[in-house]
Structure 1
């Protein structure tokens, strides 16, 4: 390299030789000797601009920015890019012009955390590229998706990720597909779509394990453990922590970030499970790691959380609070973030454990406000997501229909050319065949979409009911009990009676919203409770024979069976005008039979389904579809109704 430096410093050297010398030094030092590269790349850029070699100057500016970035001299890199953009009109290489805007987007994203500016610069970069730069365009689109992701524009982020993924799939770029899948999984998890995130992560994990890329496998397993923590699935969290540990040992590359974070995540997990010994072991393991890992801000945040949970387990509440207050200085105010919500919950738990109820209540209110705000945001995003999926499917159907019509026209033209041989009858039959096939495909797809939409709606409703029930139980219910206890202590009989009546009403509402007795006592007992309420709250004579069907169904299936019976009973009370009703549940080897009948006024089934009031029937049909069962209705006007459900067990 000394020889090339001498050529540069020699005033008699020709321009051509100087350019070659500069380029040689830049090439051999780039990504290897950052400081040397910065020195000579800066000199070369000025030299190239002086001799109007603007394209060469641009290419080296892109490299210079990258070297500054590695040295964490971000502002100097930004100055270099903006300096080169002053000559934009003189530049001819589209991918390098766009590259300058990509560097501005990178700076806005990583250094300034201004995701809107990152999106704006990404848009400018995409506009500067030419069709031949398709690989770079796609990378810019995926990067813009990441900015949309962190700016809260989930739907736009998904669109960009899916565009990027489609490009990688067309080009059989498996690594590109896997990288984009990681972005999608992170986005799904951020918005509470843990099932979707799990599916994407499982595919990625299988891909990297097949490639024996244990570095990325460990990172994915770690992310899956984080998602399981957010989804409150503690056993899954432990499973993925152990897998990540295994992959780290198998990896030939150093995995500094995951290797640092994993012991902390494990320490927090075991502290929550009450295993102090393991919790301390893991945090001690972390303490043996090098300082470069331990001094990362994100790692420090996780370290503080692990210590808080350990001190809480030791009942050192003041120590835990002092760590939490230190941690909380990084998150001032009531920002609606997962970490902000967690902090308020921890304050509540620690102050409550100390017996400081006034402060505990204050933080409980803050926690609930932030949690509900986050839930509302996630719910809104969920609705937007499903609406977007629905609209995308509808557009796909339109495109498919147009393509099918084109296909029909092409076939039609071919047949017309042979009409003298085959005649008009053949044309009609062939057209009819294609039309019937396409119509069936279209109808099947439409039906499937409607089923998926309805079923997702039912699941969302159940989640919302469960949340509201929990809020009533933890909030209103607890406060009513406090009023009742105070009235007993102070001999306030009137208030005590009102409190008792209100508590009874709240319990009834809770049971309707979310049947907690399912989990506590089982499905059979929960159904008996419906029957008892039916008898108590109506003048209808009720008889029933219910076999024990506990342990035949999972939690979601039990909820759906419970809701079907609940809806059927409500329909009898509200609409049937019956004087008697009967419910039978019969257990067979591979299924159960549920029969609900009354002697009421009956109805015309076809008319009932068309009526706006038929939402109960339609919901029962969707629930039985989720159970992969069948529903049959036998009814006539003024002759009563019998509904039979067959449900695989």
Structure 2
């Protein structure tokens, strides 16, 4: 029952199974049971011409008969196994058969033949080992060459990837460089455009300032000329008429006085005769005498720290400030101060009048305030104006022109 395999479906597999079962029983020491399986395998291999299985079965049966102490049967199967193994070039079975014959000769006392068979066994074994060694060596060599080629291919692939990445990096770097150049070019262009714009604006402002300065100087020169003509011409003529005809007419006296005041206002002769500080004191005293406003003043002597054009401009500013106080402020008290502080001159015109709306006055473009602003700008000074119901304060700060 143990030998029942389905031999019709896969006879070769059944034959191999018989051989394996025989070897298992042989290892267990059950040689008779092992012999049954090997004989079954031999029969199946012979019927189906499984040459290699047939050789293996023949060799195994011969070895089992030796173990069963049946040398005659062992000799038959071993010699048959050697013949068939040589025919089909089954090298492992040839080797095992020589070993079995060597054992059989030793049992039979035929030691010379046993020695010869053993020599043949060792030759086959060494040959097989050499073949296996060569095969392994060849396999290792082929594997080495394959690995080497794979390594070379991998290196080449990595090189290609590195070159591709380098090209991409260079491309990205070129793009970044190009964008940087474009950005720098745009920035430089914008700087140049803005520089030209602000330079033109500055030049225009400087030209306007220069023109305003020339205009004011021309006005002052013209006022000086007209003032001189009024004083030396018309004024002297009226005075001569009065003296010649001994005319003590009040209208004549008033006309001569008004003409003299107009002449002084048109050109501050006092600046040339008395100096800046005394001239300012003079116009403050005249203002005090001409109205009901209590003018006070605190004036540092700044005659030597301003150039002539600055003295005229600051004088005109104070003159305009006093005129505005008298005309518009409706105040009873006002103060003029000039302070020399470090390298600056601080002039302040203050009154306790009704005040005004600076924004409204700016919109109306008051000639007096416009003149003050222009003159302050010409002196590169700073102007601040504050005004409310408690009064008005105008402060001018300019740098000293002389040490």
Please report the TM-score for the alignment, with normalisation by the length of structure 1: 0.32
Report the structure, 1 or 2, having the larger strand content.
2
Task: Tell which structure's C-alpha radius of gyration is larger.
Answer: 2
Please report the TM-score for the alignment, with normalisation by the length of structure 2: 0.50
- RCO higher in structure (CA 8 A, sep ≥6): 2
